Amino acid sequence: MHLDELDLEIPAELIAQTPAHPRDACRLMVVDPVGGSIAHERFRDLARHLMRGDVLVINDSRVVAARLWVQKATGGRVELLFLHPCGGDGLWEALARPSGRLRLGQVLRTPQGREVHLAARLGDGRWHVSLNGGSGFRKVLEQEGAVPLPPYIKTPPSRPDDYQTVYARSEGSSAAPTAGLHFTPELLASLRADGIDVVPVTLHVGIDTFRPVTEERVEEHPIHQEAYDVPPDSIARLDAARAEGRRVVAVGTTAVRVLETLYRDAEPGAPSVAAPVGWTGLFITPGHRFRAVDAMLTNFHLPRTSLLALVMAFAGPTVTRNAYEEAVHERYRVYSFGDAMLIVRPQGDGRAGAHA
């Protein structure tokens, strides 16, 4: 896939600055990747497109206050985005911006005077950092950190939990799994009452949400690994659904990555043979053979991102571009706080990109 295939024209005025209220009042575009048809609805009407026995897979990762502004001895400010801890020795991996003039061993100070040490340069603006030579970053972030909103959101939301899903539980993400932001407790309860099995998995969203694809050949983009954790009960419910031929509906690209990681070595209908806890570096691009996902809920993503490449792999590049053009024409709101899209593939159609 060439990089220019991820180019889309999206007017800046369509970038949503605030979430819909209530959350499920946002719009829902329903896309048929085989026939190419597009329907326009509201997210609260999602049940019309689900069936009793469907498995709705949600990512319950919670965004942490991972953004911390620190100061150099010269007075210059640096933004640190904390990605994840590295072992039990107090080291964390963090993305520093700007990073070009930072040096190994440099000491940066938090607003409350705590010392952050640059312990190792990892490349691409990433560093191993330590706190006064020891542990304690979680407490620092709780006291001094901020939720790392995307740069296109100019004003922080008035309600702190607006950038969290209503089912967020497991702390660890640097960005919200935004396809889940549209659910309300009432909608989830209604879906369960209709016989939809809501199954949680965890994938902590990391650095690639913030990194555009720059390689001319998209498949050469170096995607970073993200931690996932799937409870035994969720594995059992997913295995049962596959064995019984029931549909698996992934809420967001993060849930897709977990599911495809779990079942990429499994035969159709067979149980997972992958580790239920680990790291995934799965990069899904057109040509990927989907083994676990029959339908996907997703938001409208930035051009030239790995997220858009995944959507194109699922729906097909041409269908995806047509859907985005329709979204612009119909004035859909886009990106994190924007509207949603539901893509439903025929069951058993594992030919990624077949409907180009």
In a domain, 303, yes or no: yes
Min mean pLDDT across 23-32, 155-164, 193-202 is at 155-164
Cβ 328 vs Cβ 14: under 8 Å = yes
In a domain, 287, yes or no: yes
Distances from the Cα of 85 to the Cαs of 19, 61, 129, 230, in angstroms? 31, 16, 10, 19
Domain range for 311:
3-63+157-344
Give the pLDDT of residue 70. 97
The mean per-residue pLDDT over the stretch 322-329 comes to: 98
Min mean pLDDT across 5-19, 111-125, 197-211, 323-337 is at 197-211
CATH number at 108 reads: 2.40.10.240
Sequence-separated (6 or more) residues with CB below 8 Å from residue 352:
284, 286, 287, 288, 289, 290, 313, 314
Min mean pLDDT across 32-46, 112-126, 133-147 is at 133-147
- Select from 88, 111, 144 the last residue of a domain: 144
The structural domain count of the chain equals: 2
- CA separation for the pair 86, 92 (Å, rounded): 5
Q: Is the pLDDT of residue 18 over 90?
A: yes
In tens, the pLDDT along 213-268 reads 999 999 999 888 899 999 999 999 999 999 999 999 999 999 999 999 999 999 99
The larger pLDDT score, comparing residue 91 to residue 26, is at: 26
Give the pLDDT of residue 351. 41
Q: Are residues 44 and 103 in the same domain?
A: no
The mean per-residue pLDDT over the stretch 266-276 comes to: 95
Secondary structure (3-state) at 270: coil
Q: Is the pLDDT of residue 48 over 60?
A: yes
